[in-house]
Amino acid sequence: MINYVKRREGIAIRRVEKDLLLLDMENEKIHQFNESASFIWDSCDKSSSEIELAKLLAQRFQVEEHVALNDVSVMVAKLRALNLLIDS
């Protein structure tokens, strides 16, 4: 079974140079993402699987896919723990 990742609604987004600020109004928290984390966050809205996200990340940042997959898996787990993603 492939798990797809999708962003939860109700989150305000602001870009500050290469960083991304997320205001989670439901949980009253602010999150700051660097460029690679922002790329993963932006790509989640396309209902991609972690494998698809890793391929995109590897291409964008010119890293090996297994490295990108590890980074995506860690980031998606953090996003899920923060209740920023929904199951689709």
Domain count, the chain: 1
Host domain of residue 79? 4-87
Q: Domain with 53 in it: what CATH number?
A: 3.90.930.60
Percentage of the chain beyond pLDDT 90 is 66
Give the model's pLDDT for residue 47.
Answer: 55
24's torsion region: left (phi>0), alpha (psi -120 to 50) or beta?
beta
**Strands 19-24, 29-33: parallel, antiparallel or unpaired by DSSP?**
antiparallel
pTM: 0.87
For residue 22, give the nearest of 9, 36, 35, 33 by alpha carbon.
33
Percentage of the chain beyond pLDDT 70 is 92
Over the stretch 22-60, which tens digit does the pLDDT of each residue have? 999 999 999 999 999 999 999 887 657 899 999 999 999
